[in-house]
Structure 1
Amino acid sequence: MNNNLPFDFIVNKTTKTVQINREFAAELPLVWDAFTKQEILDQWWAPQPWESRTKIMDFKVGGRRFYAMVSPEGQEHWSVQKYTSISPKTNFKMTNAFADPDENPELPGSEWDLNFSEHNGTTKVSISIYNESLERMEKMIEMGFKEGFTATLGSLENLLATLSK
């Protein structure tokens, strides 16, 4: 892990927003693919030793990803992401909600706005997560979102280093 690259994780309870800025030593097309292609996403989108298992992935406006984070013991935590806007290689937006195994969302969810930019072979990903409810945001934080997502982004960094070779 390259700890020299910038990483910010900012919780703002007033605006009910979590802002994450993370840079990766990889070119933008590869980082974009890591966030938008199921076969790559499932390799990193869960804090180890958990795994991500996608049941449905249709990356297009109006499409969705339905997946579970699965513990080593087989415990599943389902989520559904619905893509609301896509500007290839620069931005996509989605709603994200916890769900049951039948894809029924647990509302309210959150709105994710992901921005991608590259400078000299380093790609910056800026993620803004807006929660309609302060209660939901606090639940997300209490569940260990910061620690889990930080570890998950570390897994992405390691995977990108392997895929960049």
Structure 2
Amino acid sequence: MPVTDVTTDAEALTMTLEAEFDASVDRLWKAFTDPQQLERFWGPPGWPASFPQFDFTVGGHARYVMTSPKGEQSWGSWEFVAIDAPRGFTVLDAFANEEGAPLEGMPVMRVVFAFEPTATGSRMVNTTYFTSAEALEQVVAFGAVEGSTMAINQLDLVLHDLREYAAGRGTELEILDDQHVRITRVIRGPRELVWKAHHDTDLLKKWMLGPDGWTMPVAEQAEAVGDTFRNVWVPGPGVEGEEFGFEGELLLTDPPRREVSTERMIGMDGPGTVNDLSFYEEDGLTLLTLVIEYPDAETRDMILATGMVDGMEASYARLEGVLTTV
């Protein structure tokens, strides 16, 4: 993980995050000064960011919004007060409304982004300065340490192009905490087609089958927020296993970028999962990222032990073949 240390200093009124990367300072600088790249990592998993405004000049402003799986939004703003390419920049960071105006009663912080070369790549030192101990405590209580760590730990993937990242990889699982896992897979095909393949019933029945020998006779998809979906799989002749299926409700949709839904095995009691699926395209490849929220670690481990990730890899490999015929 890139983040090596996060410390708070009540006397100096600071929070400092340090991280190291196997990429150059110039490449790190680009990731932090291009809003399209910032959007890939600035929000922690489950709260991806978008930057509707980004005026990267001294005195200019940026506005960003992070959106939860249930559609809740948290807005922030930056005012750029110093720029020293490629060594770093300084902003005034504020909790904000949709127009970018600071929220009353919330702290405004001076944040310094500093980048320096290392023997193996680069290091970032991100120092946040607070005006009072109360402001520091308030932001830490909001989960700033955990959130910023999870966000910056996503940056490794951004710093390497998708073709480089995908080489020799298939479906990868990362356990984020007791309730969350992240699954990634680079699909060889454009985002529009990958999105379509996840929502077109006929296409779904061709690839979302897990191991060979299964069929998907039911693939009822949700089209709008509040709609429900239902998918059922059946083993073919000579294949071990029993019919099973999943159903759920669409919570958020932002075609072809992101969708969030609940999911529960048909016929099972108890809480299900929240599945946050996003797509990012680069050079004809699509990075699929799925963040799953489980009710607890026990449920997480039980579901992962079913061989879910292996089944997903078989499906995604099949999807790449299907995309060549669409």
Q: TM-score if structure 2 supplies the norm length?
A: 0.48
Instruction: State the shift of 1:121 in Å.
Output: 4.1
CA contact (8 A) 2:3 2:149 kept: no
- 2:117 is equivalent to residue 112 of structure 1: no
Q: How does 1:10-89 map to 2 (within 5 A)?
A: 10-89=7-86
Letter in 1 for 2:95: F
Q: Relative to structure 2, which stretch is displaced further, 12-21 or 106-115?
A: 106-115
Supply the distance in 1 between the matched residues of 2:38 and 2:137 (Cα, whole angstroms): 26
Instruction: State the shift of 1:128 in Å.
Output: 1.1
Per the alignment, residue 137 of structure 2 pairs with: 138
Instruction: State the shift of 1:27 in Å.
Output: 1.3
Q: TM-score if structure 1 supplies the norm length?
A: 0.91
Supply the distance in 1 between the matched residues of 2:34 and 2:163 (Cα, whole angstroms): 16
2:57 counterpart SS class? coil
Instruction: State the shift of 1:85 in Å.
Output: 0.4
CA contact (8 A) 1:26 1:164 kept: no
Instruction: State the shift of 1:162 in Å.
Output: 4.0
Supply the distance in 1 between the matched residues of 2:161 and 2:139 (Cα, whole angstroms): 30
* CA deviation string 1:62-85 (max 9, x = no partner): 111101111111111000000000
- 2:146 is equivalent to residue 147 of structure 1: yes
The count of aligned residue pairs is 162
Letter in 2 for 1:49: G
Instruction: State the shift of 1:164 in Å.
Output: 8.8
List alignment gaps of at least 5 residues for structure 2.
Answer: 165-326
CA RMSD of aligned residues (A): 1.6
Per the alignment, residue 5 of structure 2 pairs with: 8
1:105 counterpart SS class? coil
CA contact (8 A) 1:25 1:161 kept: no
1:112 counterpart SS class? strand
Judged with a 3 Å threshold, the aligned counterparts in structure 2 of structure 1 residues 90 and 164 are, in CA distance, closer, same or farther, namely: farther
Q: Relative to structure 2, which stretch is displaced further, 138-147 or 6-15?
A: 6-15
Per the alignment, residue 95 of structure 1 pairs with: 92
Instruction: State the shift of 1:160 in Å.
Output: 1.9
Letter in 1 for 2:126: I
Supply the distance in 2 between the matched residues of 1:132 and 1:46 (Cα, whole angstroms): 24
Letter in 2 for 1:97: A
Structure number with bigger Rg: 2
Instruction: State the shift of 1:133 in Å.
Output: 2.2
Supply the distance in 2 between the matched residues of 1:164 and 1:21 (Cα, whole angstroms): 28
* CA deviation string 1:113-137 (max 9, x = no partner): 1111112341100111101122221
Letter in 2 for 1:42: E
CA contact (8 A) 2:29 2:88 kept: no
Instruction: State the shift of 1:39 in Å.
Output: 0.7
2:153 counterpart SS class? helix
Between the aligned residues of both structures, percent identity stands at: 27
Instruction: State the shift of 1:163 in Å.
Output: 5.6
Supply the distance in 2 between the matched residues of 1:100 and 1:133 (Cα, whole angstroms): 22
Higher relative contact order (CA 8 A, sep 6+): 1
Per the alignment, residue 252 of structure 2 pairs with: none
CA contact (8 A) 2:3 2:152 kept: no
Supply the distance in 1 between the matched residues of 2:22 and 2:136 (Cα, whole angstroms): 30
List alignment gaps of at least 5 residues for structure 1.
Answer: none
* Higher strand fraction (1 or 2): 1
2:42 counterpart SS class? coil
Supply the distance in 2 between the matched residues of 1:56 and 1:163 (Cα, whole angstroms): 26
1:32 counterpart SS class? helix
CA contact (8 A) 1:24 1:123 kept: yes
